[in-house]
Structures are given as structure tokens and as C-alpha cells.
Chain A
Amino acid sequence: MKIKSLSYKVLGTLLALPLIPTLVYAFEMDTAVRKNYNGLTPQAHWDEVWHEVMLDLIVIGVIYFAVALFFMIRYKRTGHDQVGKSPKLTGQAMIGWVVIPCMLFLGDDLFLYVKAFDLHNQMRNVPAHAQTIKVTASMWNWNYDYGNGVDTDMELRVPVGKPVIFRMTSDDVVHSHYVDGYHVTEDVMPGRVTWEWIMPVKLGESVITCREYCGANHSKMYGKLIVMKQADYDAWMTEALADAKAESAHRVASAAIGKVTASKINEGQEG
């Protein structure tokens, strides 16, 4: 009786083993390091966690496959009347075969979860100096409003090295804003404002696509993100601002003309 209860205690202690690496990872790192996430950008951090997860899955998969393959070859039926001879499990063995595998799975889950939790914190905490871009989705267009009277369709220009936050809403149905290479997706829907942020550090273009089914031209709802040098960006913005001013002036003028015409027509009808 004593030996049995002792063995349960030993078993119980063993169970905690898989949790140790996770707990160490969770508590050992000090807050300062954590705030900086080892200096990684969110996309580099994502890549790191992704590779970690893939490695983890490959190890589990290979072990499982190897054991299964061994059984499949080793225990092939040879005689006609041969039957399997698996040992009958005792009550204690059965509990062990439930609890130990479960703790191993749980240990692995927690190990991955803690890393993903860290990544989640980075991806869902926006740096204070981020530039805000208002995104309005419609069937089938992305509209980017820079907040100073300039807006573009299907094309977004940002300066390199400055975090950008998208505040997004939709005019019609649910869309989803995905920026290739930055590993960010967030649904865009009417009646709510959702957000995501990116940290552009590399010059060049990346594809922006819609990732939530939105009808016949869902696959054509794509644009591009252009990351520019600050000087190029400023030059472009100055030009765009001038264009926007001219256009709004034109719009005011044409609206005025429209009013005049409309009132003339009305007069004509009345007459």
C-alpha cells in the first residue's frame, strides 16, 4: 500500500517535468527584454515563432511516424490463424497511459502557447508614434485616407521605418485586409472599426489582398503597398496634397455650377 501511494507521488512529480521549460521561459525573461522583443520587428518575430512551431510539429510527426512504421512492418501477420497479443493494461498502467501523454501534449501546447502569446502582445500593441491610415473597403476597392485630405485607391505609400496603423471599416460587406510579408490579416466590416499595424523596414512593393469572401470579384480586390524613402515620400505627398486641393476646389466649383443648372431647370419646369 505504501509503495503504491509512493509510486503515485513519483508519477505525479514526473508529470510536472514538461511544464518546466515553459515556466522558465515565461518567468525568466525580464520585462525590459520583453518590451523590446529582442529588437525584432513583428514580421521577423512571426517568422521566428513560425519556424519554432514547424520544427516542433516535424519532431512530433517524425517520432509518431517512426513508431507507427516500425509497428506496421514488425507486426505483419504471418500465419493464417495468428492473433494479436497486446498486453492487458492494469488499472494503474491505464491511468498512466492517459495522464502522461496528456501532460506531454499539454506541455508542448503551453510551450508553443507562451511563444505565441509573446508574439500576440507585440502584434496587438501599437507603437505610440504610429502614423494612422484610414482604410475603407468596398466591393471591390481599398481606399486609403492619409488624414490630410489625400486619399488613394488600391495603392498605399508609406515612408520606410515608421510604424503604420490601419483603422479600417467597410461600406458594404465583410472584407479582410492582408499585407503580404507582414503577416497581418484583419477583417473589415460595416458597423465596426478594426485595426492592424505594420512596421515597414524594407523598401519596395508588397501585395495587399482581400482575404474574406466578398462576391464575384473577390480575387480581383488587390492593391499594393509601396514603401518609400522618407524624402521620396515627402515629395510624393506634397504633389498629392496639391492635387487633392485642386480637385476639391474643382469639386466645389462644379457643385456650384450644378446648383445653378439645377435651379435653372427647376425654374424652366415651373415656367
Chain B
Amino acid sequence: MSGFMGHEPNGRPGWPKTAREWLFTVDHKVIGVWYLIGSLASFAVAGLAATLMRIELGSVGPDITSDGNIYNLWLTMHGAVMILGFQIPALLGFVANYAVPIMVGAKDMAFPRVNAFSVWLLWSGILIALANLVIPDHFNGMWTGYPPYSTSDAAGNTALYTMVVVVLGMSSVFGAVNLACTVAFMRCKGMGWFQMPLTVWTVFTANIIQLIFVPVLAASVILLSLDKYLGFGFYNPETGGDVLLYQNLFWFYSHPAVYVILLPFMGIMFEIFSVSAKNMVFSYKSAVYAILAFIPAGGDVWVHHAFVAGLPDWLRVLMSFTTLLISLPFGLLMLSLVGTLYKGAIRYSGPMMWALGAWMILIFGALTGIPNALSAIDYGISDSYVIMSHFHYVMAVSGSMATFAGIFYWFPKLTGRICNETMTKLSAIGFFIGMNTVMGPLYFAGIAGMPRRYMDYQQFADNAVIVGAQHWSTIGLYITFLSVLLMVVTWIHGMLKGEKSSQNPWGSQSLEWTSTALIAGQGNFPTPVEVAEDWHPYRYIDNPKPTFQPAPASAGH
């Protein structure tokens, strides 16, 4: 096959050299980098939208805009692009594509061409989403797109919203099938299910969740467009439809989507904690079962998004209980994380600082979730800054810190160089302090009654808690902004002038560091790799070395 097809080993490490090879690649690593670029671009756009909103909210009254439609455009773009454009592609795109196949010792994904199709779909989806910034009738119905607002003319272009969700959803589903098959069938010889790194387990489970629930989301938004443009009326009470149908369908996917993001970023944290402490993950098997338990446990909690939406009382009380049950698998994962430090030999490297920040924020985020799960408490704090602060802690801040930890962790494999350690740590500390200053005060503003999705808070102008919290939150944003700039500078500096990395700078036992070139070439491993029965990615004492089969396996994959 020609060079750019790139999944049969050719013995040459390093990235492809020509633009043609980069563009028409089917190599999972190059595709992973494309996912990374797409997700970071989305992070920039959505982050700028957040910056604008935060500046607007800094004081009572209009600061930089008095137009509700413009503000709501920022709000819609921030939510939709952060989740669909940044978090899911960074975790289920970059981490899944770049790291997972090497970690399981495969030469590529199970279906390389489908993989390329997924990333093309992702980029198409991002471009369609960005078009929302320039078209005259931009969609401003929020990333949740609740009807009847989203089916009214005031919401703008609903078809664009449907299109973005469906295109990105297709990308996710193709990616999920691909990755599940890769993990199930392409593991190297000798690697059992319980010898997989937890990053692989979490990404695998997240993709199973995607496969089960994404079609429901697609259905819910397609019905929106059918309602609006063809007058079907699934959500229109005047023709016998029901507006609550949408909320049920939407959250049936979108709550599990939180675990789609949570699990892979906890996987990255496990990887970095274990490597930094040079310690076996505490109670590895129970962590695996806890990860798998998120599939059933995450599937029956969606009603907590609709505790105040007029659903029957018995359902609220029931789902309040099933929601609390999430604390069992989640608690086990947190136990395994902290247990990994026990009797460890912890080295506080750059990625470890990011992972530690992510983990501390995750504790806040997880604990503040409990009041929201209790339906009676939720009557007082529903749709306020309490819930906004909670999910930013648990998913946005912790998620992005862990994602960036992962980028710093795999940076040597991407560029062959290491980022400056001091700059890495400074940016981590800055981001941690900054985001805590943004989101911490807002929790108290929420308790004081501040509702979310507001462009102004005139009615609370004499509420000192709310006004003060908004003010400090905006100051926190500037700190965050500077630390993100520092992080980008650190990456660029690392890429161009960073210290040359050794083969295994963190001392990992996982295959991507031990058994392939630092910048792996086509096919990852020159000849198929093989691990012993007692090999384990988190065993740092007497771990048998992976071996290589003498000749390449038969052609094809």
C-alpha cells in the first residue's frame, strides 16, 4: 500500500513528513493529533465566549453588551462547544485515538478508515457549529435546546443545532464502535482484560455508554427540527405532544454524557497518580468493576435534571435515590485514587500537579453534587448558580485540568520533548487558583438565590453576597485567562525549545512508553508485541518486560 495509508509497520519512527500524509492519513496517532487540534480550537472559542460572559457579569447593569440575543449566543456557544467540541473530542478523540491503541499493543484501530471518517465528521461538526457565529439567524436556544423555545422563531436556526448534534453524534458513534472493537479484539498477545491500563478501561466504558445513549440524543434533536419545519408536533401540546418528552429524551443521553467525560479523565488521573507514586493502583479490580458499574448506574438517573419540571412526585423520590447510588462506584474510584498514594514514592512532576489539581477540584465537585440529588433540596437550588458551580467543578474544571494533565503527560510522545517543569507547575497552580476564584464564590451566590443563564441581576442589586461573588468571579477569570495563556506558551516553548525527552521520562510500565519508539511510527510496534501473564501496567517491582514476536504477523489487520 502507499505510504500515507499508514498502519502497516514500516520500521521508521516519527511523524509523517508531507502535508498529503497528514491530511489523508488513516494512522490513529495522526488522527489523534487532529482530534487534539480540533478540541483545543474549540476550547479557545468556547473559552473566549466564557470570558465575554464573565466580563459582562462583573457588575450590575450592561458592561459590554445590553443585547440579550448576543449574550445568549455566547452562552449557547460556550456550553455546546465546550462539551461537544472540546471535552468529548479531547477525551474520546485524542486520548482514545492517540493513546489507547498503543496502550493495548495494537498496530492501529480496528477500522482505520472509519477512524479517519470520524475525525472528518468532527471537523465538519465544529465548522458547522462555528458558522453559528456568522449567520444572521444564529441559534441561541442554549446547548440544551428545550422546546417550545427552540422550536420558536426567537431561537434562530434550529436546523443548524440539529445538524451539529447529529454530525458530532455520528462521529462519536463511529468512534465508539471502532474503539470498542479495538479494545476487545486487538489487544496484544498475552494481555488479559485485567491487564489493561485504567485509561483503556475508562475510555472503553465511556464508548459503550456513547453507543447506548447517543442515538436517543440524535432522535430528540431530529424531532425538534421535524416539529419546527414540518409541523409534526411531537413536543407541541396543541397537537397532543408534550414538551417534557424532549427533556426526558435529552437527559436520558445527556446525564450519561457526564460520565462519558468523567470516566476518561479519571482514567488519566489514575495513570498519572500511579506513575508518579510508582505504585500499583489500589484495588485495581474493584476500580474496574466500579467503572463498569457506571453504565447501569448512570442510565437511570436522568430525572434529577427534571425534579422541578412537573414530573410525578413518586418519580422524583425514586430517582433521587437512584441518583444517590452513583456515589457507590464513584466513591470506590476515589478510594482507589487516594489508596494509590499509600506507601507510594510520589514525585511531583508537572503532569502530577495538574492531576492533583483536577483531583482536589473533583472532591469539591462530587460532594456538592449530593444536595442536588435530593429532590426536596433541589426545589430551593434548581437552576441556580449552585448547580452551575457544581457541574463546572466536577466536569468542566476538573475535566479540563485532567485533560491538560494528559496532554502534558503524553507531550513527550507527541513532540519528543518535555515541557518546562516550572512553567507547567505555575500554569497548573494559576489555573487551580483562578478557577476556584471563578466558581467558588458563585456557589454562595447560588445559595443566595442567583439563577443561572442570566445576563444581568438587577433584581439582586442590593444583595451583597451575589454582587460580591460576581465581582470576585470575574477577577478569578483574569487569573485563569493568564494561566491558560501561560500553558499555551509552555506548550509552544516545549515543542520548539523543550529539553529532549528520554524514552520513558515518567518511568511508566505501560506499553506506549516501554515498547515503542518515543515518537512511534506507522504500525506502532516494528513486530507484534507480547506480554507475560503476570505483566501489569501498574506493577513497578519485578514486572516482566514485554517481548516481541520475531516476524511481522500476516498482512492485513
Binding site for B on A (CB under 8 A): 46, 49-50, 53-54, 56-57, 60-61, 64-65, 67-68, 71-72, 75-79, 82-89, 94, 97-98, 101-102, 105-106, 108-109, 112-113, 116-117, 119-120, 123-124, 139, 172-174, 176, 178, 180-181, 183-187, 189-192, 194, 196, 207, 209-220, 222
- Per the 8 Å Cβ criterion, residues 287-323 of B in contact with A are 289, 306, 308-310, 313, 316-317, 320-321
A207 pairs with B68, CB closer than 8 A = no
Q: Which residue of B lies closest to A180 (CB)?
A: B449
Contact assessment for B146 and A86 in the assembled complex, using a CB-CB cutoff below 8 Å: no
Output the nearest chain A residue to B383 by Cβ-Cβ distance: A211
- Tell me whether A57 and B370 are in contact (CB under 8 A): yes
Task: Mark B167-196 against chain A: 1 for CB-CB distance below 8 A, else 0.
Answer: 000000000000000000000000000000
Cβ of A190: which chain B residues have Cβ within 8 Å of it? 148, 237-238, 243
Of all A-B residue pairs in the complex, the 6 with the closest CB atoms, nearest first, are A191-B237, A84-B279, A183-B380, A216-B68, A116-B374, A219-B454
Q: Which of A61, A87, A101, A183 contacts B335 (CB 8 A)?
A: A101
Tell me which residues across on chain A come within 8 A of B455, comparing CB atoms. Answer: 218-219
Q: How far is the CA of A3 from the CA of B244 in the complex (A)?
A: 57
Interface residues of B in 450-509 (CB under 8 A from A): 451-460
B64 within 8 A of A: no
User: Contact residues of B with A, CB < 8 Å?
Assistant: 67-69, 72, 140, 142, 144, 146-149, 152, 154-155, 237-238, 241-244, 277-280, 282-283, 285-286, 289, 306, 308-310, 313, 316-317, 320-321, 324-325, 327-328, 331-332, 334-335, 338-348, 356, 360, 363-364, 367-368, 370-371, 374-384, 449, 451-460, 540-541
B377 and A119 form a contact (CB under 8 A): yes
Structural contact, B332 and A102, CB atoms closer than 8 A: yes
A71 vs chain B, min Cβ distance (A): 4
Do B331 and A49 touch across chains, with their CB atoms under 8 A apart? no
A227–B348 CA distance with the chains assembled, in angstroms: 58
Q: Are A211 and B367 in contact (CB under 8 A)?
A: no
With A86-B282, A120-B376 as contacts: A213 and B344 at CB distance below 8 Å: no
> When chains A and B are docked, how far (Å) is the Cα of A137 from the Cα of B324?
33
Chain B residues whose CB sits within 8 angstroms of the CB of A109 once the complex forms: 321, 324-325, 327
**Chain B residues closer than 8 Å to A116, beta-carbon distance:** 320, 374-377
Asked if A84 contacts B343 (CB within 8 A), the reply is: yes
Residue among A79, A86, A87, A139 with the highest chain B CB neighbour number at 10 A: A86
Candidate in A50, A64, A83 with the most chain B CB atoms within 10 angstroms? A83
CB distance from A49 to the nearest CB of B (A): 6
Which of B149, B360, B371, B540 interacts with A213 by CB under 8 Å?
Answer: B149
> Quick check: B328 and A106 within 8 Å, CB to CB?
yes
Q: Which residue of B lies closest to A173 (CB)?
A: B149
The DSSP consensus for interface residues of chain A is mixed
B142: nearest residue on chain A (CB-CB)?
A: A213
- Whether A84 contacts B345 in the complex (CB less than 8 A), given A77-B278, A97-B286, comes out as yes
Report the Cα distance A191→B380, complex, angstroms.
24
Across the interface, A184 reaches (CB within 8 A) one of B243, B325, B380, namely B380
Selected contact of A68 from candidates B148, B242, B341, CB within 8 Å: B341
Closest-CB distance, B72 to chain A (whole angstroms): 6
In whole angstroms, what is the CA distance A196 to B283 when docked? Answer: 47
| Given A83-B345, A101-B331, A185-B308: 13 more A-B contacts, CB < 8 Å | A49-B376, A65-B363, A86-B279, A86-B280, A86-B282, A112-B374, A174-B149, A176-B308, A176-B382, A186-B310, A215-B72, A218-B68, A219-B457
Select one of A76, A78, A185, A218 contacting B454, CB under 8 A: A218
A-B contact count (CB 8 A): 248
Docked-complex contact B347 and A77, CB < 8 angstroms: yes
- Chain A residues contacting B378 (CB-CB under 8 Å) are 185
Q: Given known contacts A83-B541, A116-B374, is B68 in contact with A191 (CB within 8 Å)? A: no
Cα(A87)–Cα(B339), bound, Å: 11
List, in ascending order, chain B residues with CB within 8 A of A72's CB.
341, 346, 356
A181 to B265, CA, bound (A): 38
**Residue of B whose beta carbon sits closest to that of A116:** B374
Given A64-B334, A192-B310, A83 and B278 contact (CB-CB distance below 8 Å): yes
The residues of B that contact A53 with a CB separation of less than 8 Å are 370-371, 374, 377
Contact B377 A49 (CB under 8 A): yes
Given A120-B313, A213-B149, does the pair A192, B244 have CB atoms closer than 8 Å?
A: yes
Give bound CA distance, A46 to B458, whole Å. 26
Report Cα–Cα, A124/B321, bound state, in Å.
17
B237 touches A211 (CB 8 A): no
Q: How far is the CA of A190 from the CA of B148 in the complex (A)?
A: 8
The reply to whether A46 and B341 contact each other, CB–CB distance below 8 Å, is no
Which A residues are CB-close (under 8 A) to B376?
A: 46, 49, 116-117, 119-120, 123
Contacts known (A64-B338, A172-B152, A211-B384); A120 close to B363, Cβ less than 8 A? no
Given the contacts A105-B328, A109-B324, A211-B383, A64 and B363 also touching, CB distance less than 8 Å: yes
A75 and B379 within 8 A (CB): no
CB pairs A–B below 8 angstroms (22 shown): A46-B380, A53-B370, A54-B371, A61-B364, A68-B341, A77-B344, A87-B343, A94-B286, A120-B317, A124-B313, A174-B149, A178-B384, A181-B449, A185-B380, A185-B383, A189-B310, A190-B237, A211-B452, A212-B146, A213-B142, A216-B154, A219-B68
| Minimum CB distance partner of A88 in chain B | B280
B316 in contact with A82 (CB, 8 Å) = no
Closest to B327 in A: A105
Q: Do the beta carbons of B377 and A189 come within 8 Å of each other?
A: no
Q: Are the C-beta atoms of A120 and B367 separated by less than 8 Å? A: no
Q: Are A213 and B146 in contact (CB under 8 A)?
A: yes
Q: What is the CA–CA distance of A183 and B455 in the complex, to the nearest angstrom? A: 22
Whether the Cβ atoms of A222 and B459 lie closer than 8 Å is yes
Contact in complex: B343, A75 (CB < 8 Å): yes
Chain B residues whose C-beta falls within 8 Å of the C-beta of A76 in the assembled complex: 345-346, 348
Query: For B328, what are the chain A residues with a Cβ–Cβ distance below 8 Å?
Result: 102, 105-106
| B306, B317, B334: residue with the most chain A Cβ atoms closer than 10 Å | B317
B345 cross-chain contacts in A, Cβ below 8 A: 75-79, 82-84
Query: Across the interface, which residues of B come within 8 angstroms of A94, CB to CB?
Result: 283, 285-286
What is the CB-to-nearest-CB distance from A59 to chain B, in angstroms, rounded to a whole number? 10
User: A219 to chain B: which residues have CB within 8 Å?
Assistant: 68, 451, 453-458
Query: Knowing A173-B149, A187-B309 touch, does A75 contact B344 (C-beta < 8 A)?
Result: yes
Contacts of B368 in A (CB 8 A): 57
By CB atoms of chain A within 10 A, which of B238, B277, B332, B380 has the most?
Answer: B380
- The answer to whether A174 and B338 have CB atoms under 8 Å apart is no
Bound CA span A219–B334, Å: 38
Which residues of chain B are within 8 angstroms of A215 by Cβ–Cβ distance?
A: 68, 72, 140, 149, 154-155
Q: Write out the residue numbers on chain A whose beta carbons fall within 8 Å of the beta carbon of B69.
A: 216
Contact (A207, B278) CB under 8 Å given A75-B343, A86-B339, A123-B376: no
Closest to A56 in B: B370
**Chain A nearest CB: distance from B13 CB in Å?**
28
The CA of A40 and the CA of B538, in the complex, are separated in Å by: 55
Q: Which residue of chain A lies nearest to B459 when distances are taken between CB atoms in the complex?
A: A222
Kindly state the separation between the CA atoms of A174 and B305 in the bound complex, as whole angstroms: 14
Q: How far is the CA of A50 from the CA of B283 in the complex (A)?
A: 34
Given contacts A189-B310, A191-B243, contact A86 B343 (CB under 8 A): yes
Contact among B286, B324, B342 for A71, CB-based, below 8 A: B342
Evaluate contact between A61 and B367: CB separation under 8 angstroms.
Answer: yes
